[in-house]
Amino acid sequence: MSVEVTKLANGLTVATDHMPGIGTAALSIAFGAGSRSETPNEHGLAHLLEHMAFKGTSRRTALQIAEEIEQVGGDLNAATGIEQTSYDARVLAEHVPLAVDILSDILTDPLLTEEELAREKGVILSEIGATEDTPDDIVYDIAHATAFAGQSIGRPILGTPQSVTALDRNAISDFLGRHYKGERGVLVAAGAVDHREVVKLAEDHLGGVAAAAGPGISPAIWKGGEVRTHRDLEQAHLVLAFPGRALGDTDTLALQVFSNILGGGMSSRLFQEIREKRGLVYSILSFHWAFADTGLFGIYAGTGEDDLEELMPVMLDEIAGTTVSATEREVARAKAQMRMSLELAQESPPSRTERLTRQLLTLGRPVGAEEILERLEAVTLEDVKRVGLAALSATPSLAAIGPVSGLPPFARICERLGAPSAAA
């Protein structure tokens, strides 16, 4: 494995993945603090902090931050997730020191002015509004919130208009002080990078970050249930979700194989039976999101009002049937799809950086492509059927938006799957 890892005295982890023949570098400074780290009064704060980090420091204005990185052909970005927030740069090899300097500056010395705070709140409120106007996006948030009802892991990352409006500078500073600490941080770089150089840059720019962080996340508890929202739309959008597997679980890859067989491509069971043979949907797919201690596996479908009543029984039968009738050929095809995705990611410095960042923050160690492929090849047909059946044994989470009057009662959906209609 090409990855080298060093831990600084303050607990911050520095990792590099050198890629021969690459002239650029992708860097990320990330902290294990996303929306799941928020208290109820902080809903949306992690995402707001991500926005505010780029709005100026004591050394640079927001314009100077943008000009300095773009002057050398680079770019900056950031992403807030459920369990982490990352601040990213892509630059030519010779500009790695500048990228580390800028990223460290915005994270250790953000000004958080009231003027910029008011402006960014407005931007985020517009972002929330845009999401609300996109039913095929918001239905995932609703299913997730229903699956983990009453818990930070289930709350939408963006927050609500009410929660974002109520946030102030003190709340942001407090969150920053609790969570952006050495023991919860990483600096990861991939591409044209030298490990010793990156470690020295990390020590110079991030060595002064305090070590100890605040309390960690609370364990997730699966709830399940349903939310149906009637809207005057052309299509009904629905997500049916079940408990998934944690990132480090030995059965995570097996459940991903099950998901791919079910709805991972044009040859998948759901696509062939429901889209190709019956024409009941415009879009149908399955997905699996793995978190630190839990996961969420689900199916999305978008269909017309007239097809909804026929769609659900067929979809439910395909889901349940796959736990019994999945074949060796389907397992092999799903593995090939997953290997292709992994190999493509290996060719991209940003993809390597993203994967390594998540592994370090969630698992505490790098997991090379070779290890992942070895574990993938070890997955058997029996494993796939077993984990699929286990997922379906819990009360599902159902979210539906649009003309959904033709959707069967929740109890009937659960009965067809052989799952309980209420969480134990």
- The answer to whether the CB of 242 falls within 8 A of the CB of 414 is no
Going by C-alpha positions, the residue among 289, 316, 323 that lies closest to residue 301 is: 316
The total of other beta-carbon atoms located within 10 Å of residue 217's CB is 18
- The answer to whether the CB of 318 falls within 8 A of the CB of 270 is yes
d(CA 48, CA 41): 13
- The answer to whether the CB of 242 falls within 8 A of the CB of 394 is yes
**What are the beta bridge partners of residue 187?**
14, 29
68 among known catalytic residues: no
Write the burial class of residue 133 (CB in 10 Å: 0-12 exposed, 13-18 middle, 19+ buried): exposed
- CA 388 to chain centroid, in Å, comes to 21
Q: Which residue has the tokens 């190709």?
A: 276
Catalytic residue among 50, 226, 330, 354: 50
String of DSSP letters for 331-349: HHHHHHHHHHHHHHHHT-H
d(CA 31, CA 229): 35
- The answer to whether the CB of 244 falls within 8 A of the CB of 399 is no
- CA 263 to chain centroid, in Å, comes to 19
d(CA 91, CA 22): 11
The total of other beta-carbon atoms located within 10 Å of residue 2's CB is 14
The total of other beta-carbon atoms located within 10 Å of residue 103's CB is 26
Strands (E), 129-255: 185-191, 225-230, 235-243
Q: What is the largest CA-CA distance in the chain?
A: 63
Going by C-alpha positions, the residue among 245, 252, 260, 254 that lies closest to residue 299 is: 260
The H-or-E segment that residue 89 falls in is: strand 85-92
- Active centre residues (catalytic): 50
